[in-house]
């Protein structure tokens, strides 16, 4: 792979790499870094000018808020106008980890971070590189890193450094940096829970399932479902109907319709891929069609989902026919991302 700014591509094991990255954040530059969910594109979360650079690099509309990442609960508390018991409870159970809480914002949190709203999204990531970076940045700067996923707006999120390079390198500046921390373990974004209203609601399904959250909180799973209006955009950019989208025409279909869909659409799309869960029943597909079997467990499926969508782009697939996963709450995050990948962009 050609990486145009080789000197800016750093493996954290290298001496001084994390300190260098923290310095760059303190100087207002961008640092793409691994988290356990997806790679983030980080900037000093309390500097409006630095956060503005994220929006420019991503091509992201200014009314889409970004999540603030912290290394400890102390930093998290300073970002919220109130820190309710429920936030403390969720932090104790799920942090560090793939959970973002939405709370009323503290006055000093830049408006751009919150997309002009009166709330702020906060998360403590678990990836060791993210944690080291947050600690190092806390020593010399604010210790708060604003970071959306490190991809152009609307594109598939990155789950390894190569994805960041492919999707974003040409939009980064000469002083920006990409930290390579290997493949993300979870593979889909954090679960976003809104704590800013009367009762907790999941705005975006993610790394922690609604079932797991409901168990931890001792509430019914259904009580955590957001009302359709509440989950609507632009509050949550990941909730845009077409998002996480590969370049190919992507279709989500029941298992029994996989083969028929390929047959119907293939003449317009000679380079097709079937992404399936139960592939053994698929007879030999038509020439030019690849079959990619996926893991049967939702966690394992989620881990490789975005890599599959990136690979489909790389092989210039023009048609993706994807088997609908089971209709169970533990598949919610995967189903959500597949639906968005397949949503019409027209
Ligand atoms: O796992 C993740 O959450 C990753 C990693 C890098 O931490 N980040 C991520 O960021 O997915 P992003 O910007 O791609 O998605 C963040 C989502 C957006 O949909 C945004 O609208 C929503 O969080 N969000 C942030 N602050 C919010 C707020 N105050 N109210 C409602 N939604 C908010
Ligand atoms: Mg994103």
Residue 111: other Cβ atoms inside 10 A: 14
pLDDT above 60 (res 236): no
Q: Rounded distance, CA 131 to CA 97, Å? A: 11
pLDDT above 50 (res 234): no
Q: What is the pLDDT of residue 71?
A: 98
Give 236 Cα–ligand 1 centroid separation in angstroms.
Answer: 7
Give 116 Cα–ligand 1 centroid separation in angstroms.
Answer: 14
Ligand 1 near 148 CB (within 6 A): yes
Point out the ligand nearest to the CA of residue 41: 1
Per-residue pLDDT reduced to its tens digit, 69-102: 999 999 999 999 999 999 999 999 999 999 999 9
Residue written as tokens 């604003």?
146
Q: Which of 59, 66, 115 to mutate to test the pocket of ligand 1 (most atoms within 8 A of CB)?
A: 66
pLDDT band of 13, cuts 50, 70, 90? low
Q: Rounded distance, CA 43 to CA 138, Å? A: 13
Give 108 Cα–ligand 1 centroid separation in angstroms.
Answer: 19
Give 137 Cα–ligand 2 centroid separation in angstroms.
Answer: 23
pLDDT above 90 (res 251): yes
Instruction: Name the strands in the sheet holding 9-10, side by side, starting at the edge strand that comes first in the sequence.
Output: 9-10, 177-179, 31-33, 40-44, 145-146, 67-69, 119-123, 99-104, 191-194, 201-204
Q: What is the mean pLDDT of residues 318-332?
A: 95
pLDDT above 90 (res 167): yes
């Amino acid at each position: 792979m050609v990486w145009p700014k080789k000197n800016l591509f750093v493996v954290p094991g290298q001496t001084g790499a994390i300190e260098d990255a923290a310095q760059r954040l303190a100087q207002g530059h961008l640092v793409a870094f691994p988290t356990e969910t997806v790679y983030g594109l980080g900037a000093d979360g309390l500097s409006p000018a630095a956060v503005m650079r994220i929006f420019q690099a991503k091509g992201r509309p200014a009314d889409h808020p970004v999540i603030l990442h912290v290394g400890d609960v102390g930093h998290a508390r300073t970002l919220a106008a109130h820190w309710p018991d429920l936030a403390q409870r969720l932090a104790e159970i799920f942090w560090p980890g793939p959970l973002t809480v939405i709370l009323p914002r503290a006055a000093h949190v830049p408006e751009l971070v919150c997309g002009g709203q009166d709330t702020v999204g906060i998360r403590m990531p678990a990836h060791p590189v993210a944690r080291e970076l947050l600690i190092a940045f806390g020593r010399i700067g604010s210790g708060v890193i604003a970071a959306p996923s490190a991809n152009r707006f609307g594109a598939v999120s990155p789950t390894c450094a190569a994805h960041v390079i492919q999707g974003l390198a040409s939009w980064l500046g000469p002083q920006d940096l990409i930290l390579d921390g290997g493949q993300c373990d979870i593979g889909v974004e954090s679960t976003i829970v809104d704590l800013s209203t009367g009762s907790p609601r999941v705005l975006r399904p993610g790394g922690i399932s609604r079932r797991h959250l409901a168990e931890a909180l001792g509430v019914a799973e259904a009580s955590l479902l957001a009302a359709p209006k509440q989950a609507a955009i632009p509050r949550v950019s990941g909730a845009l109907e077409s998002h996480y989208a590969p370049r190919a025409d992507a279709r989500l279909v029941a298992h029994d319709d996989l083969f028929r869909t390929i047959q119907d659409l293939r003449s317009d799309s000679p380079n097709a891929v079937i992404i399936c869960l139960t592939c053994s029943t698929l007879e030999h597909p038509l020439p030019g069609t690849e079959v990619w079997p996926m893991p049967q467990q939702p966690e394992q499926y989620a881990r490789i989902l975005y890599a599959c969508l990136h690979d489909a782009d790389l092989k210039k697939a023009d048609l993706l026919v994807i088997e609908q996963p089971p209709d169970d709450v533990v598949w919610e995050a995967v189903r959500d991302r597949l639906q968005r990948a397949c949503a019409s962009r027209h």
